[in-house]
Amino acid sequence: MIDLIGYVGVVLLLIGWYFTKTRYEISLYLNLVASVLMLIWALLAKAYPAFFLNFVWFLISLYNLYKEKTERWEESEMSQVWISESESTSSSSR
């Protein structure tokens, strides 16, 4: 069972790495889930260097996901400001 957790984690990490360029957001979620599985495996297997590596990987994945979500939110906020400014400009020119 311990090995199965490790193998699933590795496969998800590899799939996440593959999607990094084509489907960036999916890769962020896959990396996050995979690093958690690898953390569990490393603890159960008492593989502490692997635990440390995957803990860092988890933190990087979490940071990148946070950064992606905040950038997307800021872009949507900016588009709303732009739309509302466009509407007010067009209505004042009448």
Q: What is the pTM of this model?
A: 0.64
| CA neighbor of 8 nearest in space, from 26, 45, 43, 33 | 33
Q: What is the pLDDT of residue 94?
A: 54
Domain regions of the chain by residue span? 2-92
Task: Determine phi and psi for 20, rounding to 5 degrees.
Answer: -55, -40
Q: What is the pLDDT of residues 23-48, one digit of tens each?
A: 777 888 888 998 999 999 999 999 99
